[in-house]
Amino acid sequence: MLKEKLADQFEFLRAKAPPLIGVDISSSFIKMVEIAEAGKGLYRVERYVIEPLPKDTVSDGNIANIEAAGEVMKRAHKQMATRIKNIAMALPSAAVITKKVLLKGDQREDDMEYQVQSEANQYIPFSLDEVNLDFQIIGPSPGSEDEVEVLIAASRKEKIEDRVAVAEAAGLKTIVMDVESYAALAAFDMIKGAATGVEDKDVTAIVDIGAQTTRVTVMHEDQQVYQREQQLGGYQLTQDISRQFGMPVEEAEVAKKTGGLPENYGPDVLQPFNEKIVLEISRALQFFFTSTQFSKVDHIVLCGGCAMLDGLEEMVAQRTQVHTVVANPFANMALSSKIKPRQLTVDAPALMIACGLAMRRFDPS
């Protein structure tokens, strides 16, 4: 029904995909991850790459320069040195309208599709001709044996078409179009367990510190119970470095990653930036407590490009008094000979979305 043609239907959440590569187009980078099976229930990281995008190629989650993005994706795929050309990508959460509804469970798929379209008309502020629409049955309704809970998702067609065009420019084929927040949560499933102490029954705040924004998502019993996003990210640290040491922004970005900054970088620039991140996390948790029935958080999981900033993990744990870990969705996976383990540990927090997308090839649904 929804799997015949990506251009016609917005397919996400439930695609049973052939071997594919997870591709995350962020505001500053294109990130690719390939994961293979390594035995029953075990996985192996085959290869990955993080390739920088030219400035303003992506703006507010929108592809502003398809040609430039296509060139970078083509270059990244060449570096991957893989034969796989099928990919899974994701849309920013802000580009997708989602709504949970209750529908009768004992009906044919065609009837349910018709009902979903009827429901979507009530919640989507666009003509259905302008959007790609999909739905997934989440499970039985908690309050009725006869009903099922259904997640409806829709996005403007041009949002999807732009990303597909980037892939086509790179000679790649888009098989799955997901949503970034759902892809990150799929990777979060790989983090749970004895090594981190994170379990489904716990209340866990996932803090994604990207280039432009910091997003706090709280999970409980495998459900998202809260989300807050703030315009604060790694690019602000780059600007702080540029101002403090009088260097061009491009040079500051490189220095931020490679080191070699003056001795006062830590106390004068990095620590104040970390303080801002911690303050935003504390504020988000306070809003969470005052707007929900929850009164505590058991774990904080840091991810995104800034998660590995020196001293941040310790500062978050100390200030919030909450058990804090840096995300590594690959921690329990085998690594191919092409992977440098130490470098992957550094890069892992920034690869959550790409990892979640790469895992779509094993989706049993």
Q: What is the CATH number of the domain that holds 280?
A: 3.30.420.40
Q: What distance in Å separates the CA atoms of residue 9 and residue 123, rounded to the nearest whole number? A: 18
Asked if residue 179 and residue 210 are part of one domain, the reply reads: no
Count: domains in the chain: 3
- What pLDDT is attached to residue 17? 52
Asked if 272 and 244 count as a contact pair (C-beta separation under 8 A), the reply is no
Asked if residue 35 and residue 184 are part of one domain, the reply reads: yes
Paired sense of beta strands 144-156 and 223-230, if any: unpaired
Q: Which of 133, 157, 181 is the last residue of a domain?
A: 157
Q: What distance in Å separates the CA atoms of residue 321 and residue 285, rounded to the nearest whole number? A: 12
Q: What distance in Å separates the CA atoms of residue 158 and residue 130, rounded to the nearest whole number? A: 8
pLDDT tens, residue order, the chain (365 aa): 233 333 344 454 454 557 999 999 999 999 999 999 988 878 999 999 999 999 899 988 899 999 999 999 999 999 999 999 999 999 998 888 888 888 888 888 788 888 888 888 888 888 888 888 888 888 888 777 888 888 888 899 999 999 999 999 999 999 999 999 889 999 999 999 878 899 999 999 999 999 989 999 999 998 889 999 999 999 999 999 999 999 999 999 999 988 889 999 999 999 999 999 999 999 999 999 999 999 999 999 999 999 999 999 999 999 999 999 999 999 999 999 999 999 999 999 999 999 999 999 987 65
Asked if 69 and 63 count as a contact pair (C-beta separation under 8 A), the reply is yes
Asked if residue 284 and residue 257 are part of one domain, the reply reads: yes
Alpha helices in 27-137 (DSSP H): 66-80, 109-123
pTM of the model: 0.88
Asked if residue 225 and residue 206 are part of one domain, the reply reads: yes
The amino acid that residue 93 corresponds to is S
* CA angle at 280 for the pair 275 and 282, rounded to the nearest 5°: 95
* DSSP-derived 3-state class of residue 363: coil
Alpha helices in 292-336 (DSSP H): 312-320
Asked if residue 57 and residue 180 are part of one domain, the reply reads: yes
Asked if residue 178 and residue 35 are part of one domain, the reply reads: yes
Asked if residue 53 and residue 168 are part of one domain, the reply reads: yes
Nearest Cα residue to 161 out of 7, 319, 332, 318: 7
Asked if residue 349 and residue 227 are part of one domain, the reply reads: no
Nearest Cα residue to 352 out of 329, 332, 333: 329
Provide the domain limits for residue 111.
Answer: 96-157
Asked if residue 90 and residue 31 are part of one domain, the reply reads: yes
Asked if residue 207 and residue 187 are part of one domain, the reply reads: no
Residue corresponding to tokens 């505001």 = 27
Asked if residue 85 and residue 13 are part of one domain, the reply reads: yes
Nearest Cα residue to 255 out of 268, 274, 242, 271: 242
